[in-house]
Structure formats: structure tokens, C-alpha cells
Amino acid sequence: MFGRVFCGLSAAALVSATAVMAEPSGSASNGANKQICRAIADTGSRLGRSRVCHTEQEWAELRRQTQQSVDHVQNARAASGQ
């Protein structure tokens, strides 16, 4: 009897904790300030993942920087004749 009650309370606590973690940390309703979390795979590990959270604007800036780096490498490679 005690085990069932404990298991039920544990499940309820887990569900409520998950709901709280899923909410963005900011209370602003503006979409630009909304936290977006993604699981990023760790390089060199099949199982390793880390959670990274940024705002929508920060994710856009990261994409822009990545694209700029890729363009730079590709242009440098084309200029060297490879």
C-alpha cells in the first residue's frame, strides 16, 4: 500500500517538475524573447547530449555566424585552387 502511494506521488512530482522545466524562464509574451532549448549532440560520443537554450534572436545570430564561417572557408579554399 505504501509503495503504491509513494510511486503515485513520485509520478505526480515528476510530471509537475517536467511542466515547470518546459516553461521559458522569461515571462515576456514577445516571441523574440522566448527561450528555445535544443539537444545538441556532443562530438565524439554516441550517447552524449547537452541541452542548450537561447532566444530566437540568439539562434538566428548563431546561424548567421555559422553560415559566415562556412562561406569564409569555402571562399578561401576556392581561392587556393583546391
Q: Is 10 helix (H, G, I), strand (E, B) or coil?
A: helix
Residue-level pLDDT at 30: 60
Specify the higher pLDDT residue, 46 or 61: 61
pTM tops 0.75: no
Q: Is the pLDDT of residue 36 over 70?
A: yes
Residue-level pLDDT at 68: 97
Residue 2 identity: F
Separation CA 20–CA 38 (nearest Å)? 17
pLDDT category at 17 given cuts 50, 70, 90 is very low
pLDDT category at 32 given cuts 50, 70, 90 is low
Separation CA 58–CA 23 (nearest Å)? 18
